[in-house]
Amino acid sequence: VLAYASDHNYTVLSHAEEKSLATGYYHYGYLTRDKGIPGIPSSSESVNVARNMLLAGETGAKIHFCHLSAKESVALIKLGKELGINVTAEVTPHHLYFADKDIIPFNTMYKVNPPIREIKDRDILRETLKSGLIDVIATDHAPHTQKEKEQRISEAPFGISSIEIAASIVNTIFNDLQIIYERMCRMPYKILGEENSLSVGQIADLVVFDPEKEFEVTAENWVSKGKNNPYFGKTLKGCVVLTIKGGKIVYEER
């Protein structure tokens, strides 16, 4: 796959997971050990990052790693870039916002793959996103029904629904519109080879964002049918007022 992608100038998007190690439900750490819950170690991600990245370097392919969660993976991305490998990476809003200490045991709203990891992992994700080592913020939006998520932890699906508050989460953490623009707009376009800009003749894909408005996340003001998220009751700063796609208004704040 990587050799073919290299020959045709494609970018390979990699979900880095060694499935033989990823057999649990939360990050393998104090929570899983204390509660006797099967855990998912950081190595289940990082060993796959190392393998795929080195193979991309060997074949000359462009590789982009989706939703990284572990500090070891970030260290590998840094090494890959220093070696001249054409590698980029992303992180999700929930991996930037939460750490495993925030998880309510057996609450499946926190069950996501890769799992929410320790404070030191979260802090490194934040630091390297700000520095530009991590290139993109992507939601990994995964809506599920209430019924699906109400199953016991071994049966409930992985995933968090958060696309409508993604920019709000990022703004709450960093209070920096430049990060939202660079990591959620410009860099995704660039990596996918679909450059766009605010200029005459370009496609009007625009978002109007109020960075100062605070609001509480509730089921009542939630738009998505997928209400599986651990943010209900949280107060966030900044909200999307208007979304224009292809020159047409597709969302307007109620």
Q: Set out the domains of the chain in order of their start, with CATH numbers.
A: 2-198 (3.20.20.140)
Distance CA 136, CA 139 (A): 10
**Helix pair 166-174, 119-131: axis angle to 10 deg:** 90
pTM (predicted TM-score) = 0.95
Distance CA 58, CA 220 (A): 51
CB 183 within 8 A of CB 137: yes
121 is catalytic: no
Mean pLDDT, rounded, of the chain: 95
Please check the confidence at residue 72 and state whether its pLDDT lies above 90.
Answer: yes
Taking residues 72-97, what's their average pLDDT? 99
pLDDT confidence bin for 193, thresholds 50/70/90: confident
Q: Select which of 100, 121, 135, 140 is catalytic.
A: 140
Distance CA 236, CA 175 (A): 11
Q: Give per-residue pLDDT as tens, 29-46.
A: 988 998 999 999 999 999
* CA proximity to 111, closest of 56, 70, 155, 74: 155
Residue count of the chain: 254
Q: In degrees rounded to 5, what are phi and psi of residue 188? A: -60, -45
pLDDT confidence bin for 233, thresholds 50/70/90: very high
Taking residues 166-192, what's their average pLDDT? 96
CB 241 within 8 A of CB 164: no
CB 15 within 8 A of CB 49: no
Q: Give per-residue pLDDT as tens, 131-159.
A: 999 999 999 999 999 999 999 999 999 99
Taking residues 97-109, what's their average pLDDT? 95
